[in-house]
Amino acid sequence: MTYGIICFALFFSFVGTVLGGIWADQSWGRFWGWDPKENGALLIVLWNAIILHARWGGYARERGTMAMAIFGNVITSFSWFGVNMLGVGLHSYGFMDKAFWALSAFVASQLAIMIFALVPARFWSARRAEEPAPAGRKGGSEGASQPV
């Protein structure tokens, strides 16, 4: 499900960024001006592409993809709200310095979830030991004890 959402996010973020550039060209006479809000949109597109390439290249599996997707929340929050705290650029409307602590708390919560998600599997093995053993297998060694 996460893979599909990341594909969806990459496609529509890319399309939205390109359409925003076309609109900027029509309105302001330039396609890209390296404004902080434009850079934030580009970062969202690039991070989603990095996630997909890490997954396709085998650098990240399920848990790694989830941790990268959670970090995508941090990038998106900085791109949407963090650039408003800078107060520079054409997109500096809605300046909100009071949201700093809320944004900081959100980023801290996302980083904590990422750390929790990346805890090595050996720390989760205590729960596996408590689960009941699967029913006997059919095959050539019925009745033989299975190592645990």
Half-sphere exposure in the Cβ direction for 87 (13 Å, CA) = 5
Is pTM beyond 0.95 here?
Answer: no
- The amino acid that residue 126 corresponds to is A
Express each pLDDT in 51-87 by its tens digit: 999 999 998 888 899 999 999 999 999 988 888 787 7
End-to-end CA distance of the chain: 32
pLDDT tens readout for residues 88-114: 776 666 667 778 889 999 999 999 999
